A = this chain, B = another copy of it.
Amino acid sequence: MTANDKLAGRTQKGLHICVGLDTDINKLPHHFDKSAESIFEFNKNIVDATIDSAAAYKLNLAFYEIHGIKGLEVMKKTIDYIPEDILIIGDAKRGDIGNTSKMYAESLYGHFNFDASTLNPYMGHDSVSPFLEYENKLNFILALTSNKSADEIEKQELSNGQFVYQKVIEKVHEWNIEKNCGIVFGATNSEELQANMENIGSLPVLLPGVGAQGGSLAEVVKIFRKYTKTNFLVNVSRGLLYIDNTESFTEKVSAAINQLNHEVSRINP
């Protein structure tokens, strides 16, 4: 099953919420102790509570790397626990010279068995191409990110009138020979998203930034309703994982993702 198949399998059912397993040991419900093992137990609970409602899972590697070797063991266990038929994104934002990127790709796709990853385009094509060679995976390349400082480099205007992030989107189309590329576009930038939908075309879009960062789910979904050839995932992490700190947190999480799905389904063009 290719990453594109896994993505389509869920989004065709109207599911677009990507559950961000950015698990922070300091925010777990009170009955968990502060061990790396608790992160796995928590993730397991979250996956059980969301598996029928999620469109994908996204693990940000930093949240695991911070615990060193134990953290990576927990990340691997989590990946192995998630059922085969749903997309798992390794949010790693990697990018390096070719022989190095090849190793990052082998680590993420070979060793950890992620279906997809996020990549940083700053160094250009040869820094992402080893990832693109995995034709059954899906590579979400950073275009315009959700953070405030995105304007410092990404929104710089080029001499041809394009912004840097628009040049990236143009490049991603060139790089997309195997139809295994997508982009990351921050949900906090819904105006720019609207203005760039024609440029984005059929590239799947991963949208972080809804919730804690201030992006609006309704605003971005509305845009995609008008451009139905563009598939999309809206990531929610903090707004889902830590809404309750009691032993019955999974019920709340389950209700919350169903509520998000309901909001998505209600939005018409």
**Are A122 and B122 within 8 A (Cβ)?**
yes
Given A72-B68, A96-B62, A157-B158, A126 and B149 contact (CB-CB distance below 8 Å): yes
Q: Which residues of B contact A60 (CB under 8 A)?
A: 96, 100
A and B contact pairs by CB, cutoff 8 A, 18 listed = A22-B100, A62-B96, A62-B104, A65-B104, A66-B110, A67-B111, A68-B76, A72-B72, A93-B95, A97-B146, A121-B153, A122-B122, A122-B142, A123-B153, A124-B147, A127-B145, A156-B158, A158-B158
Q: Which residues of B contact A65 (CB under 8 A)?
A: 103-104, 107, 111
Q: Which of A118-144 contact B (CB under 8 A)?
A: 120-127, 142
Type the 1/0 row for A82-99, where 1 means its CB is closer than 8 Å to any CB of B: 000000000101111110
CA distance A164 to B106 in the complex (A): 30
Tell yes or no: A112 within 8 A of B by CB. yes
Q: Which of A151-197 contact B (CB under 8 A)?
A: 151-154, 156-159, 161, 164, 167-168, 171
Binding site for B on A (CB under 8 A): 22, 60, 62-63, 65-69, 72-73, 76, 91, 93-98, 100-101, 103-104, 106-107, 110-112, 120-127, 142, 145-154, 156-159, 161, 164, 167-168, 171, 208, 213
**Are B150 and A123 within 8 A (Cβ)?**
yes
Q: Which residue of B lies closest to A72 (CB)?
A: B69
Q: Which residues of B contact A104 (CB under 8 A)?
A: 62, 65-66
**Are B157 and A142 within 8 A (Cβ)?**
no
Q: Which residues of B contact A111 (CB under 8 A)?
A: 65-68
CA distance A29 to B153 in the complex (A): 44
Given A66-B107, A69-B73, A154 and B122 contact (CB-CB distance below 8 Å): yes
